[in-house]
Amino acid sequence: MNLNRLPLLSTAALAFALSGCATNGDPRDPLEPMNRGIYRFNDSVDKAVLKPVAQGYKAVLPSPVRTGVTNFFSNIDDLFVAANNLLQFKLNAAASDVGRIIANTTFGIAGIFDVASGWGMEKHNEDFGQTLGYWGVGDGPFLMLPLLGPSNVRDSAGLLLYYKLDPVVHLHHIPLRNSLVALRFVNRRANLLDAEKVLDEAALDPYTFLRDAYIQQRRNLIYDGSPPRDNSAYEDEAPVTKKTEAVSPPTVTEAPVPVPTTTVSQGKAEEKIDATPPLAPATETPSNDLLAVLAQLFRGGNATAWQE
């Protein structure tokens, strides 16, 4: 099998996208019927093959070994992180990435041990899709790639570039190359075994949840955690019309009524007022870190988010 052609199957969705298959649903996802079909295919393959293999991998290998595998591939991806920071003129971050590579490759024994983080060299998350976004390239339609999961037109182009430059894919020793590619994929899937439970329980429609999580996380990454207001999310809301003759009265919120409690002190009843308002029940929502993990389900390419 020629692994240089591995992304071609996944990016076939992009070619099909240009055929004009569109719906009137979410404007960010005009190819939703096709994407849902690919999502069901991914889910079926995962349940039949990938998840059982990942579960066996996790059961056989102890946690320190799996952490070492994750660190090894993360160290390779730091090459791309450094290059993308440089392309985005984040020179300090790029210099730190180069320092991480040197430290982890030497003192960390080929990256198996992440000594750089302990020395204050932060792990960054940059890829070619983010670099294209930094230079003004739009997302394009949302795409669900076969086996690789959520993406879009811009990130798919970045993913192709990643595979073209990936040193693991271009190893000349075929058995070693295939073993490393399989190990990287299975290790990434094993890292998601705990987080996938949230995807199953988070919403009635896991596809919509996964899509929205991916779009949100990629936007946050491109803007380094401070994205501008996205007005597209409010396009479907009814416009506000100014009316002077029919103004609704302001809503009055009543203060919580103090609850009297009775205590006994020195044989005499005393009334004590508890003015603390009752606490509203907390609403549980997935954290941004968890959304990032869920959004990367089945995703190949950038491994920097997988050890967070």
The band of 164, judged by pLDDT with boundaries at 50, 70 and 90, is very high
* CB crowding 11-49: b at 16 or more within 10 Å, else e: bebbeebeeeeeeeeeebbbbbebbbebbeebeeebeee
Residue 271, pLDDT above cutoff 60: no
Residue 96, pLDDT above cutoff 90: yes
Residue 89, pLDDT above cutoff 70: yes
Q: How far is CA 157 from CA 34, 131, 220, 272, 273, in A?
A: 19, 11, 19, 68, 65
Q: Which helix (H) or strand (E) holds 268?
A: strand 268-274
Residue 124, C-beta contacts closer than 8 angstroms, at least 6 positions apart: 81, 85, 93, 96, 97, 304
- Residue 62 sits at φ, ψ, to 5 deg, of -70, 165
The secondary structure of residue 277, as a DSSP letter, is P
Residue 283, pLDDT above cutoff 90: no
Closest Cα partner for 303 from 123, 131, 141, 179? Answer: 123
CA distance 94 to 34: 38
Query: Angle CA(229)–CA(288)–CA(86) in degrees, nearest 5?
Result: 75
CA distance 136 to 130: 10
The residue that leads in pLDDT, 257 or 84, is 84
Residue 239, pLDDT above cutoff 90: no
Residue 284, pLDDT above cutoff 90: no
Average pLDDT value over all residues in the chain: 78
Share of the chain above pLDDT 90, in %: 59
Residue 11, pLDDT above cutoff 70: no
User: Encoding tokens for residue 160?
Assistant: 């192709």
Q: What is the tens place of the pLDDT at every residue in 57-74?
A: 999 999 999 999 999 999
The band of 140, judged by pLDDT with boundaries at 50, 70 and 90, is very high
pLDDT at 296: 47
CA distance 250 to 131: 47
- Residue 272 sits at φ, ψ, to 5 deg, of -120, 130
Residues 162/301, Cβ–Cβ less than 8 Å: yes
Asked whether the CA dihedral 98, 102, 104, 110 is positive or negative, the reply is positive
The secondary structure of residue 242, as a DSSP letter, is -
- Residue 259 sits at φ, ψ, to 5 deg, of -100, 115
pLDDT at 241: 40
Task: Centre a 10 Å sphere on the Cβ of residue 3 and count the other Cβ atoms it contains.
Answer: 16
Coil, strand or helix at 230: coil
Q: How far is CA 262 from CA 216, 255, 258, 276, in A?
A: 51, 22, 13, 15
Residue 10, pLDDT above cutoff 80: no
Report how far Cα 221 is from the mean position of its chain's Cα atoms: 9
